[in-house]
Structures are given as C-alpha cells and as structure tokens.
Chains A and B, each alone.
Chain A
Amino acid sequence: DAGVIQSPRHEVTEMGQEVTLRCKPISGHDYLFWYRQTMMRGLELLIYFNNNVPIDDSGMPEDRFSAKMPNASFSTLKIQPSEPRDSAVYFCASSPGTSSADTQYFGPGTRLTVL
C-alpha cells in the first residue's frame, strides 16, 4: 500500500485566496483525520470522519475552514479566504478503527504558507 497520500506537498498563496488540500487515506481504513501543526500550538485535531461522515469538527478554527469526504478514498480540507495565521503544516491521517483510539497512519503533510 502507498500509505496516506496528500497533495500538494507545498502551497504558497496570498491572503484572501482559496486553498484546497487533498488526502487519499489507506484503502480499507474507516477513519480519516485532519490535523494542523504549528510551533506554537503543536499538533491540533481539526476534524475526523468515520465512514465518510464527519464525527467531530470541534477543532475547526472558524467558518473559513471546511472539510468534506465524498467517498472512502478522498477528502478535502478547504480554507476560504485564507489568512497568514493559517500558515502551518496540515496532516491527514487514517486508521482502520478496529479498536478504540486505534493507531493512526499519517501522510507526509502539506506545508501551507499564506503571504
């Protein structure tokens, strides 16, 4: 298996632009997680899905952020409009969900820079 795939790996955009981050989880995994990592705040869970349904979006910072999972093999995290404080590394992770708080498998991340 190729593991969790994220694209793009790097994104540089200007304030006010729309940004879309993409993730393909490991086939057969029922759970998908979006995280944001910064030096100041560490690794924060933004939202997670179970069988394509959003379960907990309490970590989504504000209405500018939205996430979708239209099918089991694809998810997007969208920021519209983007702001400089959104600059961070965004990770997608998936887990089989065979037991509570199962091992998570992380993608390589998308490094977002908003100018």
Chain B
Amino acid sequence: SQQGEEDPQALSIQEGENATMNCSYKTSINNLQWYRQNSGRGLVHLILIRSNEREKHSGRLRVTLDTSKKSSSLLITASRAADTASYFCATGARGGSEKLVFGKGTKLTVNP
C-alpha cells in the first residue's frame, strides 16, 4: 500500500510565484524525503527531514513536517521554469527498514 499521498496532483503557476505541495502519510516514520523527477529522467533527491525535525531549508526549498498530522509540505519559493517537474514524497518507516514508499507525485508546471 502506498504511504505518501501528494496533493495537489497537478499545479500550474507563473514564474516567480511560490509553489506549495503537500504530502500525507499513514504510519510512523523515521524520515520523509522529497524527490524531483524531470520528464523522462530518474528521480533526484532534494531534501530529507527526520521525524524529530519540524522544518528544514535548502536554497529555495522549505520543508515542514507535522508528525501529529502525519503530513509534510514542500515550498519552492520564487519558482523558475526549470522547476517544472514532478515532485514525490517518500517515507521511510520506523524499524530500521531501508525501504522508501513513494507517493504518486505532484506535477508542477512553471510558466515563463
């Protein structure tokens, strides 16, 4: 069964605007990761947030984690056309497993 579910499924914005994507999950996690996939390419890791962290920044990316609500959000500030891609959250379960379970992703389109 899929752990992460992203929302919205698709998002279209103008260059310069902020993009917010959400992820909900079902069970206790060790960490939550966000990945990006450009069309026809493999996934690329963006950022990892551990279960004891609430917020993390990396460049124009800001990730929050609310373990009480089992949800996370990814904010991309000052978006660029090059940010056009699909974004996936992936959760690693508690218990030491190396498995990540991926959601179906949010398809972001940034219009120039």
Contacts and interface: CB of A to CB of B under 8 A. Distances in A.
Chain A binding surface SS class? strand
A19 B41 CA distance: 21
16 contacts: A42-B104, A43-B43, A43-B88, A43-B104, A45-B99, A45-B100, A93-B42, A100-B30, A100-B98, A101-B31, A101-B97, A104-B45, A105-B45, A107-B42, A108-B42, A109-B41
A50 B100 CA distance: 14
Interface residues of A, number: 23
Interface in A10-68: 31, 42-43, 45, 48, 50, 55-56
Given A31-B98, A100-B30, A101-B92, A91 B104 contact: no
B42 A43 contact: no
Contacts of A55: 98
Chain B binding surface SS class? strand
A101 B42 contact: no
